[in-house]
Structure 1
Amino acid sequence: MPPARRAAAPLALCLLAAGCAAGPAPDPAERDVRTAVAAWAGQPSARPAGLPLAQWAYEVTGVRRDGPRATATAELRYRIDGYDTAPAGSAREVRLTQSAGRWTVTGDTAAPGAPPQPWDQGPLEVVRGAHALVLRAGRGGPHPADVAADADRAVPAASAAWPRPWAGRVVVLVPPTQEAMAALLGRPPAAYTGMAAVTTGSTGGAAGPADRIVVNPAAYSQLSAAGRSVVLTHEATHAATRRATTERTPLWLSEGFADWAAYRGTPTAPADAAPALARAVRRGDLPAGLPADRDFAFGADPDALARAYEGAWLACRLIAESRGDGALVRLYERAGREPLDTALGEELGLDGAELARAWRERLRTELAAAP
């Protein structure tokens, strides 16, 4: 018998023999649970009221039953219409009960260990501005219409600083408390003390959900109108530059550029926008070099973190003033895809050490004599 025939014969016998390769029969109750989740997810009542959605679907990945109760683990995939270019994901647990042979969904929460979604934190208010969609949960924090107005001013400012194609719109989340903000981001609340907002998003330009600007209601509410403008322009600039930002991009450049965009065109004096760094320079504590990536770590000493952001802004301000806005934009683009010294040399005509020396001299000139 040829080898191929010998290999096929056991397979034929296996298919004919009872139980040879058969798996367990599908559980009808599990099938019914999956069907019930799919039917529930298709109803308007399963979706957050007022949220414009282009996609909303639950993929059940497992079912646990305990008599007339069941819990389905699922992956929620949703896409906000007009903002997300790909679905966002959320690990969920859907609870069901059975009555008269029929399964009914009774609850839906974030899976253990998974970040919640805004609508998990209370009733959702949705306000659409010209350039922003604002989602406020739980009736806490600044009013969503006010945040939308702030964002509508910030997005054009970001576009003016970054004259490259981008969506030109942002999604802003307003949780009710700093603790709720931290929960959305999956980090300890202390990591965001003093931070008015942060931006989430994937770098490198891959298709994905829109960046989310997450507001810290405790800090944001204490800001002046000018302060709110700086914060949201900074965060909108992160969204604008996302496609050009990669792991190569040094944080002093990405954070400094965002602050440069936020302060661009304002009469803000360096000592006013960089008070922590000004104090350090006046006491003779001049930084040895440009801020390292580790200097921007969340949860770091607040004064040291402030000095890192302020120093980054002053470095980008120096580049724009000495070489022009266009050179700073081109440097940002190139720094995300090639060695920094190569980009510095070809765009600015200097290397990292020379830039650091010029920056340190600018700190002495502008901050040492500040009151």
Structure 2
Amino acid sequence: MVGLVLVLLTRDGRQDVTPATPSDAPRASPAEAASALAAFVEAVERRDARALEQLAPPSPPAARDLLSDIAANVDSLDLDGVSARYVDQAGAVAPDGSWSGVAELGWRLRGFDQEAARSEVVVRFAPSGEGLGIVGFEARGDGTRLPLWLRAPLSVTRSDRVLVMVDGPQDEADSVAARATRGIGVVRRVLPDWSGPVVVEVPATAADLDEALGVAPGTYAGIAAVTAPAGSDDDGRGPVHVFVNPDVTDGLRRAGAQVVMSHELVHVATDAVRRPVESWLLEGFADYVALRDSPLPDDVTLGRAIAAARRDGVPRSLPRATDFDTRGQDLQARYEEAWLACRIIAERGGENGLKDLYLRASGGGSTKRLLRHSSLPLNALVKTWRDRLRLLSRSS
């Protein structure tokens, strides 16, 4: 920035102005930032790890390590369609000439993503030679997402239908990939026309998961996994991935972790992110598929719903959208209640009846209207559901 200092002197009623002198303060250069981003994209496209590393400024040393890690991620993930467009300056320029700018990033996983994901990220720049170097990348903090491949070195496991990236050890990536592969088989028992592909992302912590999804800290602290767009998805065309919260899933038994994965894969298979369905049907159907062949008794699979009914009484209505707030009280009980409702529909009208209801609802049909023309209208479903919960809460 150029600073101007004007000094007004009064002499005999006349005002004199001293000449303005330019400041030596460092300035942001959008042109140099755009050039650095173009060099970043070119190095990624050419899979040139050395060129990426050379984009790091002399200081801090961690910048070179990060760019080296990014080069490895690009190769193992087989990224293509990478783009980076400078948007604006973010904050002031530091005395050492370093500063941050916002860039619109695009990226695609070859063989898995049909369209590129896009998100605005903060890029930290610092003087390097005659231009700018790239120090690192950060989330913007306003709902935009920082992709996992820009954060840290990733462990990657891939097959024809499954790609898993983990900010952690390779054995964890292998384990998650095996879970996803089994999950595809579970989903196909009810939805045989679907077979993937699936991308699963596992950040290092729950806090990193929030940042990867562009949500407020703590939003997904108690959630085991979520299916969501990989980028900002403003046009509704970007890829959808499964994001796993290791802080929760690491504490689950193998069977529990498998149910979580299978549940999320139902959302992927039915494009649930972009096909709005009433929340109880959305979550209940996913749990129905995931738990379809579970040998566990009701006092286990419905344990939290039973406990909530004993404590607060049997709910008067099926769970609403607000009941599935990620920070809501008794969230797991709401999932179990939704699953019970779907199980009752399958008991009355058969599994194909439940599947038909879900697919018609996801195609835009009214759930209430669809149930009205089935063997179990909504009022009858709610009554049967409440009676079942009441019986379970008294006998378990």
Give, as a single letter, the amino acid of the residue that structure 2 aligns with 1:295: D
Q: 2:383 is matched by which residue type in structure 1? A: R
Question: How many Å separate the matches in 2 of 1:94 and 1:281?
Answer: 50
1:37 correspondence with 2:63: no
Change (3 A) 1:120 1:278: same
Aligned residue runs from structure 1 range 1-371, under 5 A: 30-43=30-43, 44=47, 45=49, 46=52, 47-49=70-72, 50-62=76-88, 71-98=100-127, 102-113=130-141, 114-129=144-159, 131-139=161-169, 143-165=172-194, 168-201=196-229, 208-242=237-271, 246-247=275-276, 249-282=277-310, 285-301=313-329, 304-336=330-362, 337-346=364-373, 348-370=374-396
Which ranges of structure 1 fall in alignment gaps of 5 or more residues? Answer: 1-28
TM-aligned CA deviation for residue 183 of structure 1: 2.1
SS in 2 for 1:192: coil
What one-letter code is carried by the residue in structure 1 that aligns with 2:350? G
Q: 1:107 to 1:305 in 2, by over 3 A?
A: same
Cα distance in 2 between the residues matched to 1:146 and 1:170 = 15
Residues 274-324 of structure 1 show CA distances to partners (whole Å, capped at 9, x for unaligned) of 1011223445711112111111111111xx212211100011111112111
Cα gap change, 1:260/1:297 in structure 2, threshold over 3 Å: closer, same or farther?
A: same
Q: Show the counterpart of 2:65.
A: none
Please give the alpha-carbon distance, in whole angstroms, between the structure 2 residues aligned to 1:192 and 1:96.
31
Matched residue of 1:316: which SS?
Answer: helix
Aligned counterpart, 1:14: none
Report the TM-score, using the length of structure 1 for normalisation: 0.81
Partner deviation per Cα, 1:188-224 (whole Å, 9 max, x = no partner): 454334422121139x9x8633322221112111111
What is the SS of the residue equivalent to 1:209?
A: coil
Rounded Cα–Cα distance in structure 2 between residues aligned with 1:148 and 1:33: 38
Asked if 1 retains the 8 angstrom alpha-carbon contact of 2:318 and 2:337, the reply is: yes
State the Cα distance separating 1:237 from its structure 2 match: 0.8
1:174/1:288 CA distance change after superposition, 3 Å: same
More off after superposition, 336-345 vs 65-74: 65-74
Q: 1:311-353: CA deviations, max 9, x gaps? A: 000111111121111111111122231222211122x234321
Give the secondary-structure state (helix, strand or coil) at the position aligned to 1:257. Answer: helix
Q: Which amino acid aligns with 2:260?
A: V
Work out the CA distance in 1 between the residues paired with 2:331 and 2:375: 29
Conserved? CA contact 1:252–1:291, under 8 Å: yes
TM-score (norm. length: structure 2): 0.76
Report the RMSD for the aligned CA atoms in angstroms. Answer: 2.9
1:63 Cα deviation from its structure 2 partner: 5.5
Give the distance between the partners of 2:348 and 2:102, measured in 1 at CA.
Answer: 56
Aligned partner of 1:285: which letter?
G
* In 1, Cα distance between equivalents of 2:128 and 2:391: 77
Residue 90 of structure 1: SS of its match in structure 2?
Answer: strand
SS in 1 for 2:219: helix
Secondary structure of the residue that 1:73 maps to in structure 2? strand
Output one character per residue of 1:146-205: Cα deviation in whole Å (capped at 9) or x when no partner.
11111110122122222444x612211111122222222233454334422121139x9x
Residue 354 to residue 244, structure 1, CA distance change in 2 (3 Å): farther
* Cα distance in 1 for residues equivalent to 2:217 and 2:268: 23
Larger displacement relative to structure 2 (173-182 or 122-131): 122-131
Q: Is 1:154–1:229's contact at 8 Å kept on the other side of the alignment?
A: yes
- Looking at structure 2, the residues matched to 139 and 70 of structure 1 have their Cα atoms a distance apart, in angstroms, of 33
Deviation string 1:73-102 (CA, Å, 9 cap, x unpaired) is 2111001112211111121233444556x3
Secondary structure of 2:322's counterpart equals helix
Aligned length: 335
1:62 offset after TM fit, Å?
Answer: 3.2
Deviation at 1:226, TM superposition (A): 0.8
Which residue of 1 is the match for residue 20 of structure 2?
none
CA distance, structure 1, for counterparts of residue 33 and residue 305 of structure 2 = 59
Shift of 1:238: 0.9
Letter in 2 for 1:151: A
C-alpha distance 69-310 of structure 1, shift in aligned 2 (>3 A): closer
User: 1:74, 1:94 within 8 Å by CA — same for their partners in 2?
Assistant: yes
Q: How far apart in 2 are the matches of 1:244 and 1:91?
A: 21
Q: Which amino acid aligns with 1:344?
A: L
Give the SS at the match of 2:255.
helix
- Checking the alignment, whether the CA contact within 8 Å between 1:92 and 1:108 is kept in structure 2 is no
Contact 1:131 1:155 in 2 (8 A): no
Structure 1 position 32, deviation (Å): 4.7
